[in-house]
Structure 1
Amino acid sequence: MISSTAVMAFEWIILILAYILVAGRIYVKLFLRGFGIYAADYLLIAGLVACQGLLICDTLTYQMNAMDDFSLASTSTPVKKIRFATNYFFDTGIYFPKFSIIAFYFNLVPVTNSSMRKALYALTGLTAAFALTTFLCDTFWCGADPSINWAEGHQTCTVFTSMTLMRLNWSLNFTTEVLNLVFPIPLLSGLMTSTRKKIGLAVIFGMGLITIIVSVGRFVTMLYVHNDISIYIWATAEICISVMIVALTALRPLLRKFTNNASTSSDDRTGPTRNSIYWPGSNKIPRRHVVQVGSESLAGSETELNTMSGGIMMTHQVTVSIGKPDGDEESNSDIRG
């Protein structure tokens, strides 16, 4: 069996990775794109706070040498209080990344697509209802007085050890996780773009499968291994990975910056270049629907979704670098197609 020290090392490593990715997302929003911090970002930060709260509870449990005995009911009152708080950080906190991606969907779905907007409102209401249900169950599952969960002596009911409550909370969480994953599928199928681009976007949204796989692993472990320290790993991995995946969806400009820096270093060795920007599409696309991005600018979006009469068109920036002899003046030209 894995040691409690190894468990704590894993948990803090994955939490640090979550901090790095969320910080990268904020950096992209503030400095690369020049945007502010919006609802989706605040909700993701709230999810990160829940991860931190869960890790603090696990660390305190580890310091009290209570981590190795997962299902022991007759523990000290401080340990019982910590375990009660753990339910809030995990069961309720895991909904914050879901709300963050839903806030992103509100910006992604065109207001002219009434059917998808209605489905999005339904998804939002269902997720909020499940989150509230989880919070209330974690509070009053064993009675109107929550303090029964950390009362002295042996208790017949505690929120932390109730398998019935665990199954209920997992079912609600799993349902919303799947719905969040499948929601953008009709939107992707309506994009007027190449199959390769559709596959790329599908991969971005499909990363939610990782969270679903981890969630199933945690559920199976809790069903068949009632007193195993690995459950701490599954729980921490699930909530931290959900935060990390949402953060990853906004890190493309940061990757593009690193790529451009590497390309600039290569150009410095091979000689000056001249850059041209080409926008594929139709002359019917109004200019206000296309955002020009200069060759050295990282503040704009590389991909734009435009509502058309026949569907949704995605315009994409392509930068072409052409080598030129020394002495020529640099020139930039924009071609709108």
Structure 2
Amino acid sequence: MIDPFGRAITYLRLSVTDRCDLRCTYCMPQRMTFLPKKELLTLEELDRLSAAFIRRGIRKLRLTGGEPLVRRDIMWLVERLSRFLGTGELDELTLTTNGTRLAHHAADLARLGVRRINVSLDSLEPETYARITRGGTLAETVRGIDAALDAGIEVKINTVALREDNLEQAVGLAEWAHSRGAGITFIEVMPMGSVEADRLDQFVPLTEVRRRLEERWTLTDTTLRTGGPARYARTDQGGTIGFITPLSHNFCGSCNRIRVTCTGQLFMCLGQTADADLRTPLRAWADDAPLEAAIAAAIERKPKGHDFAIRRSAPPAVERHMSVTGG
């Protein structure tokens, strides 16, 4: 799949649910309204949809949410999708998780061919973690991370930089991740969906985070790429630190990604509203030709990039929450 700007689309982020067992302050309001379960694609439909994308050239597939591991029988889908690793049609099957249920699933994920996962972790202070997540238990997520590492899964910590909540912890978070043999990526807060906080108060440009890290280490930029928007540096002690900068440094020029929601909406760009309905052709025809035609037509409409910006008291750049689109 080649978009109008000559970019090969090889990476699908597939949401399996909009639900999450946490309520992170930068992600969603405390009283979040989730979709009726009847609107979600079934696991069988998600499998069929994934197969269609893989036939079209997707080589990396990331399961997202919400929190993907809260979806009932999610391991059935992981097992089904793992067949594409065995045939060589898929290079990587992975997921992004908050880690709360990872301890229970880590061994099975490793057995089914998941070699690398991203785990969201924004603080190592139990009280701060509970405040950011609105009730999460830090020890539970740490247990999940350790279980994944023990199962032989490579872990990358994802940390959203928040000025009042964890900016002072950036070095400590990186040291903690590296001490466990994990990498870490810092992410600028994204203006998606309304939350109680003003995101301008939360926002930290990652140039500021990097300055703090460089007080601890010498950082050398690398050519490492893992299929997503992160740009990586290596410390003089061998640890890897990534930076995702949707606001301070647009990364759209090399975009190879698309996102599908748990209801079958294909979003060609995280920061735009244009979408394509895949649920209708998925359900209306047993033949996949109409579905693949809808995918092809959508790729022809993929925009050049997003228009993210944060302004004081302004509405979010995109009204849908990240948990709806898929993280």
Bin of the TM-score, shorter chain as denominator length:
under 0.3
TM-score (norm 1): 0.21
The structure with the larger Rg is 1
TM-score (norm 2): 0.22
